[in-house]
Amino acid sequence: KRIAIFASGSGSNAQKLMEHFKPNTGVEIALVLSNNPDAYVLQRADNYEIPVHIFDRQEFYHTNDVIDLLKNLDIDLIVLAGFLWLIPKNLISEYPGRIINIHPALLPKFGGKGMYGDHVHNAILEAGETEGGITIHYVDENYDEGQYIYQARYKIDKGDNLEMIKFKGQQLEHHHYPRIIDGIIKKIKK
């Protein structure tokens, strides 16, 4: 089975997936795609000898090149790991129920357009929440709205700052994302 990862930034979650799905485990990370030529995730892909593809808005939203590439590589599952652009409708209909995202909050709270990176964690702190969490969910044509697959929670203690809650969320993401993706991809029938 073959996974493609879409990521726009650092790619720490992508790296956890690369570590989890080592060569010869029956599941291969066949491609990393990014809209950002400077994303650190591309370096991580290189370290694992995973091919990368960089695209711009014109290509992603106005051509079929990305879909053609995914089809040619026989990709079974698309995993978003810190990918910031909305997935176009034609890509969603090519991969129904086969695109998964992770979000650093307990959706439906703190999701939607503009809710990414530090914006999410700042909003959580400003709201005075006593718990935070992560959501792994299917992707539809709206930001952060597809069906939920899994949520995990962490406690927010009085005095926790941005870095602390980010760290708590990231620990959960790194622990659960590979595990959940593993369960899903193994159920996909070729």
Catalytic positions, please?
103
Tokens describing residue 101: 């995202």
**Cα separation, 90 vs 188, whole angstroms:** 21
- The correct pick among 160, 173, 178, 181 for binding ligand GRF (CB under 6 A) is 173
- C-beta of 137: minimal distance to ligand GRF in Å? 11
Phi, psi of 35 (to 5 degrees): -85, -10
- C-beta of 63: minimal distance to ligand GRF in Å? 25
Cα angle vertex 169, ends 157, 4, to 5°? 175
- C-beta of 3: minimal distance to ligand GRF in Å? 15
57 is in an annotated binding site: yes
101 is in an annotated binding site: yes
Neighbouring C-beta atoms of residue 174, cutoff 10 Å: 17
Q: Binding segment for ligand GRF among 3-11, 48-56, 91-99, 150-158 (CB under 6 A)?
A: 3-11
Between 89 and 118, how does the x/- string for binding to ligand GRF read (CB under 6 A)?
Answer: -------------xxx--------------
**Cα separation, 147 vs 104, whole angstroms:** 16
**Cα separation, 39 vs 53, whole angstroms:** 12
Annotated binding-site residues read 11-13, 57, 101
Residues at the site binding ligand GRF, with contacts judged by CB under 6 A: 7, 9-14, 81-82, 102-104, 173
